[in-house]
Amino acid sequence: MARALELAARGPATGPNPRVGCVLLGPDGETLAEGFHRGAGTPHAEVAALQAVAGSVVGATAVVTLEPCAHSGRTGPCSRALLEAGVSRVVVAVPDPNPRAAGGTAELRAHGVDVEVGPLGEQARALNERWAVAVGRGRPWVTWKWASTLDGRSAAADGTSRWITSAAARADVHRLRAGHDAVLVGTGTALVDDPSLTVRRDGVVTGPQPLRVVAGLRDLPAGARLADAAAETLHVRTRDPREVLRVLAAREVRSVLLEGGPALAAAFVAAGLVDEVVCYLAPALLGAGTPAVGDLGIRSLPDISRLQTTSVDLVGGDVRVVARPCSPAPAEVPPQFQSVPEFEEAAGVHRDR
C-alpha cells in the first residue's frame, strides 16, 4: 500500500478527481504492474495498471489507495474492470466518500472477490483531504490566504501595501495558488487592484492556471487583467458566499484559494466556509491601516473564533502560519453578511496579484 500511495501522489493535486494509485501483485507477492490516475478523462489507477500488465492477472491481488469506483463517468467502472480481469483479492486503503462512485467493494464481494479495507487509511485520507471534503460537503474546500504585519494590517492608512511581505513569501503564494482549482476575490479587489490572479514564476505566467473567480454584482472593465487570455475568468454575480461555492461546485471545482479583501474574508469566515487559513506575517508594524479581516460580528471574548495551528514556518524573513477552524460551520450565512454590498474590500489590499 505504501507503494500505491507513492504512485497516487504523482497525480495532479487539482482537478475534479482524487489522486489514486494501484499495484497489481501476483500469487507470490511479485509486482505485476503499477498505475496511477493522471487526471480527469484519463484511465483510473486500476485500469492504468491493468493496461500495463504483460500477461494474465487471473488470481492476482489489486492494492488500491481508494475504493474502486462502481459507476460510469468519463471512464467505465473500475470494479467491473477488476472483475473482468480475474482479480481474486482487492486491498483498499479507504472507502470512496463520493456517493456517486462508491459501491465498488460491495460489487467485488458480491462476485466472490476477497476485499480488505483499511491499510494505511490515514495516509490515504490525508492525500485526498481537500477532494474528500469537497465531495462530502457538496462545496469546494476553501483556503483563506492573507498577508499582514504583526499588528494585523494588510495595507497602510493610505492604501499602499507593496510590499508587506518578502519576495520569498510572495513566491510561496504562487505555489499555493498552483495547488488550487480556483482563486477568488470580490469586485472591490478586482476593480481597485486590477489583479491578474495567475500562477507566475519570476514574473512569467507558467503552468496550468486556476480558474479566476470574481464575486459581486458590478461589471469589470473590458481592459481589466482578469479579462485577458492568461486564464479563464468566471464572474459570479451574487453577494452570497454560499451561492458562490454552489456555482463552483457545479463546475466540479474542488478547492478554492480565497484572496479577497477584509469584507469578503469576513463573510466567508463568519459563514463557516473557511477550511484552512494560510497567513504570511511580516516582522513589521503599521499601527493603522486596513485590517486583514472585517467585522465578524463578535462582541465578546467568549465568542472568539479560535483556530488550531497546524504548522509554523519561516519563509524568507516572514512567518507562514497554517491553521484550521476549531468550531463547526453555522447552518446559515449570518444576517450581517447577507447583503454585504459588492464585497467592498478596502483599496490597496493584497497587491501581489
Q: What is the pLDDT of residues 304-342, one digit of tens each?
A: 889 999 999 999 999 999 999 986 555 454 444 444 444
| 64 and 191 belong to one structural domain | no
| 42 and 62 belong to one structural domain | yes
Parts of the chain with a pLDDT under 50: 331, 333-342, 344-352
Judge whether 210 lies within some domain. Answer: yes
DSSP string, 57-85: -TT-EEEEEEPPP-S-SSS--HHHHHHHH
CB 351 within 8 A of CB 163: yes
| 231 and 291 belong to one structural domain | yes
Element spanning 129, H or E = helix 129-137
| 169 and 293 belong to one structural domain | yes
Judge whether 150 lies within some domain. Answer: yes
Q: Minimal CA–CA distance to 160: which of 284, 272, 35? A: 284
Q: Minimal CA–CA distance to 88: which of 44, 58, 53, 50? A: 58
Dihedral sign from CA coordinates of 200, 204, 207, 212: positive
Element spanning 272, H or E = none
| 195 and 298 belong to one structural domain | yes
Judge whether 51 lies within some domain. Answer: yes
| Amino acid in position 309 | T
Q: What is the pLDDT of residues 184-202, one digit of tens each?
A: 999 988 898 889 999 999 8
Task: Map grid coordinates 485590517 to a residue.
Answer: 291
pLDDT computed for residue 72 by the predictor: 74
pLDDT computed for residue 75 by the predictor: 73
**Which CA distances in Å does 113 have to 27, 67, 110, 121?**
15, 14, 7, 20
| 287 and 147 belong to one structural domain | yes
Q: Is 308 exposed, middle or buried (0-12, 13-18, 19+ CB in 10 A)?
A: exposed
In angstroms, the CA 145 to CA 197 distance is 13
| 216 and 338 belong to one structural domain | yes
pLDDT computed for residue 180 by the predictor: 97
| 172 and 103 belong to one structural domain | no
Give how many domains the chain has, as a whole number. 2
CATH code, domain with 69: 3.40.140.10
Cis ω before 163 (30° cut-off from 0): yes
| 179 and 106 belong to one structural domain | no
Any idea of the CA torsion for 183, 188, 190, 194, to the nearest 10 degrees? Answer: -130
Q: What is the pLDDT of residues 134-179, one digit of tens each?
A: 999 999 999 999 999 999 998 888 888 888 999 999 999 999 999 9
Q: Which of 6, 30, 34, 46 is catalytic?
A: 46
| 203 and 313 belong to one structural domain | yes
pLDDT computed for residue 203 by the predictor: 85
Q: Which residues, at least 6 apart from 345, have a Cβ–Cβ distance to it below 8 Å? A: 185, 186, 188, 189, 192, 260, 261, 262, 263, 264
46 counts as catalytic: yes
CB 55 within 8 A of CB 31: no
| 92 and 200 belong to one structural domain | no
Burial 19-35 (b: 16+ CB within 10 A, else e): bbbbbbbeeeeeebbbb
**Which CA distances in Å does 93 have to 65, 107, 110, 120?**
5, 17, 19, 6
Q: Which domain holds residue 203?
A: 139-343
pLDDT computed for residue 322 by the predictor: 97
In angstroms, the CA 153 to CA 107 distance is 56
In angstroms, the CA 144 to CA 227 distance is 23
Q: What single-letter DSSP state applies at residue 15?
A: S
CATH code, domain with 160: 3.40.430.10
| 193 and 209 belong to one structural domain | yes
pLDDT computed for residue 345 by the predictor: 44
Q: Which residues, at least 6 apart from 185, have a Cβ–Cβ distance to it below 8 Å? A: 195, 197, 213, 214, 215, 259, 260, 261, 264, 345
pLDDT computed for residue 239 by the predictor: 86
- The HSE-up count of residue 21 (CA atoms within 13 Å, CB side) is 21
pLDDT computed for residue 202 by the predictor: 85
